[in-house]
Amino acid sequence: KFAYGRLIHDQCERRGHFDEGRFAKAFGDEGHRKGYCLYKLGCKGPITHANCSVIRFCDVCVWPVSVGHPCMGCTEPNFWDEMEPFYKPIM
């Protein structure tokens, strides 16, 4: 439960934007530059169980979503097959 007990989406710093309906629609657009939710760019955080948004990577304060890249769901089993296409919203 420590690492995989919660959804990334529930712990994401961009969650407030999701709740308010603010989404980046393209890489580099105004919403992307303002740190809006990456759901429409294919973020898999709403269906990915992990603590990436809390623990971060390599003992520094970054992880893909914090620097503007959607979560790819890499902690989920068979993510290469299950999470494609990576840049399309989940349905």
> What Å distances lie between residue 28 and 5, 24, 41, 81, CA to CA?
32, 8, 11, 27
Q: Per the structure block, which two tokens stand in for 80?
A: 């290469």
Looking up tokens 């898999």 gives: 44
- At residue 26, the pLDDT reads 97
Which region, left, alpha or beta, applies to residue 21 given φ > 0 means left and ψ of -120 to 50 means alpha?
Answer: left
- At residue 53, the pLDDT reads 84
Note whether residue 1 is domain-resident.
no
Note whether residue 90 is domain-resident.
no
Note whether residue 89 is domain-resident.
no
- Domain of 16 in residue numbering reads as 8-82
Note whether residue 63 is domain-resident.
yes
Mean pLDDT of 64-78: 92
Domain count, the chain: 1
Predicted confidence (pLDDT) per residue in 13-69, tens digit: 999 999 999 999 999 999 999 999 999 999 999 999 998 888 877 767 888 899 999
Note whether residue 55 is domain-resident.
yes
Nearest Cα neighbor of 14 from 29, 36, 31, 33 is: 36
Note whether residue 42 is domain-resident.
yes
Rounded to a whole number, what is the distance in angstroms from the first to the last CA of the chain? 26
Note whether residue 3 is domain-resident.
no
Whether residue 2 is predicted with pLDDT greater than 70 in this model: the reply is: no
Note whether residue 56 is domain-resident.
yes
- The CATH number that applies at residue 70 is 4.10.480.10
- At residue 25, the pLDDT reads 97
